[in-house]
Structure 1
Amino acid sequence: MRLMAPPLLMLSVLTAPAHATPERAANFTTTTTATSVAARSDRRPVAGGLYDAVAKRTFVSWAGQYEDNYAQSFDHRTGVWSAPVKYADGDSDSHNYPTLVQAGDGHLLSFRGRHNVELVLNRSPEAHSSEGVWSERVISTNAATYPMPFVLADGTIYVFFRETSHDLDPTIPTDTRPMLYVVSKDNGRTWKTSTELTGTPFAIGSTGRADNMNEIYIGQLRQEPDGRVRIVYTLAGGGPEGHLHDRYHRNIYYTWFNPKNLHFYSASGRDLGTQIDDADQERYLKVAETPLALPGAVKSPDYIQLVGTTLGLPFLLWFSGDEAGGPLHNYLSWWNGSRWQTKEVARGLRVREMEPLGPATWRVYATEDGKPNVNTYLVRLGRTWAAEAVIPTAKPVQRIELVKDFRDPVRVLLSGASSAREVAVADGDITVAGVARR
C-alpha cells in the first residue's frame, strides 16, 4: 500500500515477517468462561471489563446471540466464574455491543449506542455485583453509536459516542457523523452533553470536506493514569462518489483530551479548544495520509487503531488493506518530539489491543484471519517490533480488550469470532487470558 507523506511526516518502510523468533515468552494461561455463545460484534478495544478491588472480582461484558448484552464475574478468592447474566437486548445489531465501567458508588454501568438512535445506560441493581435485573434508561437521543466510556478519579463519568446527524435532520448528508460526549458527576443519575457544556455542536468532526470524508471513526480511546485521554481516529465517507456512508476510509489522526478543561491538544501540545474541526485535524493532528482508494480486502485504514505513550510521547499502531487484495499492512507511527514518523512492521495481522509493560515497552495482542490463537509482540519506544508469544485458543478470536486495573489470571478478554456475520449466529467462545507467576 502506498502512503502519501504530508508535511512533517517521515515515512520509512520495513517489511517484517509476522512471526519472528520470540525474544521472550510470557507464560500465559487461558480460561474459556462461556462456550459457543459469542456473536459478531463491532466493539472497539475500550471498556470490556474491570477489576473491583472491594469485591475482589473481575467483571467482563460481551455480546451474545442477537448482540444481547451479558456480564460475568470472576471471584479471585475462590477462582470461580459466575454464570453469564443477560442484562440488555442487542436488537440484532452488531453495533449495539456493551461497554462496562464502574461508578464511584460501586454499581456497574454498561453503555450501548442503539445504532443511530440513542445512548442507553444499564445499571446493576447492587454495588460490586453483576447479579440481578439491571435497570435501563436512555441518556441521550443524539442518534448515538460506538460508546466509549471512562471514569475519572473523582468519579466523573464520560461517554464519547458518534452522532449520525442525518437521522436527526434528513437534510444533513448521511456521511456527516461527528463525535460528541456526555458527562455525569453523580454516578450516572444525570447527564449533560458536550454541546451543553461547551456551546459547540460537536467535539470532533467536520461538515464540508470536498472529499465528503466527514465521518469520524475512533479506533481507540485510552485513559492514562495522569487523567489524559489519548485518541486515535480515521475518516470515512463517500469520497469522490458523493454522499455515501463509510464508502472510503482515509488518513490517521491523533489527539488527546483533557477532562479538566474539556480541551483537545495535538502531539506538540497545541491547545485546540473544546472542538476539533477539519482545519485543526489537517494542520495539527494528521499522522499519516493514506490514498483515497477502495482496498481489496479491508477498509483502509481499518476501524481499529491503537494508541499509547512511551516515555511521555505518543505512538500509534494501525493497519490497512492492500488495493490488490494482498495481506494486511501493519504500521507503527511515533511522535519523536517534533514530528511523526511511520514505518511498516508486519504483514497479515489484525492488531487488536495493547498494554504497557513499563515506561518504554508495550505488549501487542494480534490475530490472523480465520485462525485460532492470539499472537503477542513487544513494541519498544513506540518504534521497534519483536515477536513474543502465542496464546492458544480453541477457535478464532474477533475482539480483545484489556481489563481495567486487571489482576491475573484475567488480564485480557478474548471474544471469539462467530462463523457468520449475522448476529443470530453465536458460536464464538468467551475466553480470558493472563500471565501466570513463574
Structure 2
Amino acid sequence: MRALPYVVAAAIAAPLALHTPAAAAGASVSGAPTAFTTVASNVAARTDRRPTNGGVYDRRAGKTFISWGGRFEDNYVQEYDHRTGRWSAPVKVAGGGNDTHNYPTIVQAGDGHLLVFRGMHNRELWVARSPEPHSIAGTWTDTEIPEGLGATYPMVVKAANGDIVVFVRETAGDLDPRYPSDFRPMKYVRSTDGGRTWASAETLTGERWVIAPRDRPDNMNEIYIGQLRYEPAAPGRPERVGIVYTLAGGGPEGHLHDRYHKNVYHVYFSPADLRFRSASGVDLGVAVDDAEQERHLKVVDTPLQTVNPRSPDYIQLVGATLGGHLPFAVWMRLDAAGVVHTHVTVRTPLGWHDREVASGLRVRDMERVDPLTWRVYTTSSDPAVTAVATYTLTAGLLWRPEATIPTPRPVQRVEVVDGYRDPARVILTGASSARPADVADGDIYVAGAPPRPRG
C-alpha cells in the first residue's frame, strides 16, 4: 500500500472531461446490461424510494425477488425463476396509504422468508412477511414494528450473522410537540430472529437517535440519507455499512421542514458493536451529534442552497475501492437555474477530494465491477429522455461513459438487485404521468446481461 499515494496522485492529475447523457450514446463495454424486459405494464406510481433494497437474489431457490410501489403506493413483489426464465404475476403484500413515501424495501431473512418494509410517512414502520420461505406465493402477514414509531425512508441491512437492521428517519415533532418540525434524526431497529421481534437503538445502546444534529444556528437539523451500503468483512477490518447523507431544514427562515439543503457527510456503522466511525477511523460511539459530524464526517461543505432549487439533492451514492481503503460518495448539486451537476468525492491519503464529473445527469444507483471500478446508473435531467445511461467510475476518480439502456418510456428510479444474477440485475421503475400516488401508469422494467448460450 506504500504506492497508493502515487496511484491516487496520478489519477487526480489525469484530465477528467465532463460528459452529458449524449456522450454515452452508442458506447458499449462488456459487462454492461443489455437484456431488457418489461415485467409489469401501467402499474407504477410516483415513488420516493431511495436506491436501496429494491430486490434480492435467492441463490438456494434460483430466484430473483423484486419490489415496487403501485397505485396508492401499495407494495408489490414479483419473482423471476432463473431455471424457467419466467416472471410471476405481481403479488400485493401491503397497502401504501396513498403516499409516495411509503414505498417497499425488501430483504431475505436467514430462514428464507422475504421481508418487505415500509415507513408510513412520519408515523409507523411496518413489515410484511412471506408465508413460505424462498417464495412470494400465499397470503403475507403485515405487522407494525412499534419500535419504529415516526418512521420514514426505511433502509435495510442484513449482517453476516443474519441480524437485520432497519434505519429510519424519525419525525420527532409529530410525536412530541416540544421538538421543531426541522428536527428529524435517524434511528434504527434490529432483529436477531429473522424479523419476528425487534429492539430499538435506545434499548440496545441507550441512545434514541443515532445521527442527530440538534440546535444548529442554521436550523439544518434534518437528515436525508441518500444511500447506505453493506461492506462484508475484509482482511484487517470487520463488516461495516457505509452511509452518505445531507442536511435539510428551515435555514434563515426558522424551523421549517426541508426548505434548504446543505453539505454531504460520510460515516461507517458497525453491525457487530453498533458503533459509528469516520472514514479515517475515528470511533464516534453509538451516536453522532452535530459537533462530531462537522469535525469528522463532512465530505463537502456546500453553500446553504436557496429554496428552489434545493442542493445537494436527496439521492447520494456511497461506495469504496481498493478493499475499502478509498471510500467515496457520488452526489448531485443543482445550480441557481436548476441544472444538475454530478460530483464524485473520494477519500484519498491526502484527504477528501471533490470533482464535478458530469452535468445534466441524475445518478440513480451503482454496482461494483472490480476492486477499482464501479458502474453508475443515471437518467437524464430531461424528463422526456427515455434511456438509462451507465458510466464507469475507477478509483473514485476516473469517470467515463459506457453504454445506454433504451427504455420505451422515461424512468424515475433505478435499483441494483442485491447479490444479483443476470439477466435480473437492475430494476427500472418507469415514471408515472403525475405525482399523486393514486396515478399508476408507469412500467416496471428489469435489465441485465443476456443469458450465456448453452453448449
TM-score (norm 1): 0.95
Q: How many angstroms does 1:427 deviate by?
A: 1.0
User: Partner residue of 2:3?
Assistant: none
* Contact 1:417–1:429, Cα closer than 8 Å, also in 2: yes
Q: Which amino acid aligns with 2:29?
A: R
From 335, 340, 355, the equivalent of 1:322 is: 335
* Contact 1:264–1:273, Cα closer than 8 Å, also in 2: yes
SS at match of 2:56: strand
Q: How many angstroms does 1:13 deviate by?
A: 11
User: Partner residue of 1:181?
Assistant: 188
SS at match of 1:331: strand
Q: Which amino acid aligns with 2:315?
A: I
User: Partner residue of 2:374?
Assistant: 362
User: Partner residue of 2:29?
Assistant: 24
User: Partner residue of 1:348?
Assistant: 360
Distance 1:329 1:79, change over 3 A: same
User: Partner residue of 1:155?
Assistant: 162
**Structure 1 residue 98 and structure 2 residue 112: aligned?**
no
Q: Which amino acid aligns with 2:295?
A: R
Distance in 1, matches of 2:75 and 2:361, equals: 28
* Contact 1:20–1:386, Cα closer than 8 Å, also in 2: no
**Structure 1 residue 73 and structure 2 residue 79: aligned?**
yes
User: Partner residue of 1:7?
Assistant: none
User: Partner residue of 1:257?
Assistant: 269
* Contact 1:103–1:187, Cα closer than 8 Å, also in 2: yes
User: Partner residue of 1:5?
Assistant: none
User: Partner residue of 1:247?
Assistant: 259
From 203, 212, 217, the equivalent of 2:224 is: 217
User: Partner residue of 1:303?
Assistant: 314
From 390, 393, 399, the equivalent of 1:376 is: 390
* Contact 1:23–1:386, Cα closer than 8 Å, also in 2: no
**Structure 1 residue 407 and structure 2 residue 414: aligned?**
no
**CA offset digits 1:178-213 (Å, max 9, x no partner):** 000000111111110011111112110112100000
Distance in 2, matches of 1:259 and 1:171, equals: 32
Q: How many angstroms does 1:53 deviate by?
A: 1.2
* Contact 1:108–1:123, Cα closer than 8 Å, also in 2: yes
Q: How many angstroms does 1:295 deviate by?
A: 5.8
Count of matched residue pairs: 427
User: Partner residue of 1:60?
Assistant: 66
SS at match of 1:427: strand
SS at match of 1:190: coil
SS at match of 2:292: helix
* Contact 2:33–2:447, Cα closer than 8 Å, also in 1: no
SS at match of 2:428: strand
Distance in 2, matches of 1:182 and 1:71, equals: 23
* Contact 1:11–1:342, Cα closer than 8 Å, also in 2: no
Distance in 1, matches of 2:301 and 2:277, equals: 20
* Contact 1:11–1:343, Cα closer than 8 Å, also in 2: no
Q: How many angstroms does 1:154 deviate by?
A: 1.4
Distance in 2, matches of 1:142 and 1:88, equals: 18
* Contact 2:259–2:307, Cα closer than 8 Å, also in 1: no
SS at match of 1:283: helix
Q: How many angstroms does 1:315 deviate by?
A: 0.7
Q: How many angstroms does 1:17 deviate by?
A: 2.4
User: Partner residue of 1:277?
Assistant: 289
Q: How many angstroms does 1:240 deviate by?
A: 0.5
Distance in 2, matches of 1:117 and 1:27, equals: 38
User: Partner residue of 1:169?
Assistant: 176
Distance 1:347 1:154, change over 3 A: same
Kindly, what percent of the aligned residue pairs are identical?
57
Most deviating of 14-23 and 39-48: 14-23
User: Partner residue of 1:146?
Assistant: 153
**CA offset digits 1:223-265 (Å, max 9, x no partner):** 1122210000000000010000000010000001111111111
Distance 1:323 1:119, change over 3 A: same
Q: How many angstroms does 1:436 deviate by?
A: 2.4
* Contact 1:11–1:341, Cα closer than 8 Å, also in 2: no
SS at match of 1:394: coil
TM-score (norm 2): 0.91
* Contact 2:423–2:451, Cα closer than 8 Å, also in 1: no
Distance in 1, matches of 2:335 and 2:211, equals: 28
User: Partner residue of 2:6?
Assistant: none
Q: Which amino acid aligns with 1:20?
A: A
Distance in 1, matches of 2:251 and 2:100, equals: 25
Distance in 2, matches of 1:335 and 1:285, equals: 11
Distance in 2, matches of 1:372 and 1:317, equals: 23
Q: Which amino acid aligns with 2:74?
A: D
Distance in 1, matches of 2:267 and 2:183, equals: 20
Query: For the aligned residues, what is the CA RMSD?
Result: 1.7
Distance 1:27 1:152, change over 3 A: closer
SS at match of 2:407: strand
Q: How many angstroms does 1:150 deviate by?
A: 1.4
User: Greater share of helix residues, 1 or 2?
Assistant: 2
Q: Which runs of 5+ in 1 are unaligned?
A: 1-9
* Contact 2:162–2:194, Cα closer than 8 Å, also in 1: yes
* Contact 1:305–1:317, Cα closer than 8 Å, also in 2: yes
Distance in 1, matches of 2:162 and 2:208, equals: 25
Q: Which runs of 5+ in 2 are unaligned?
A: 1-11, 234-238
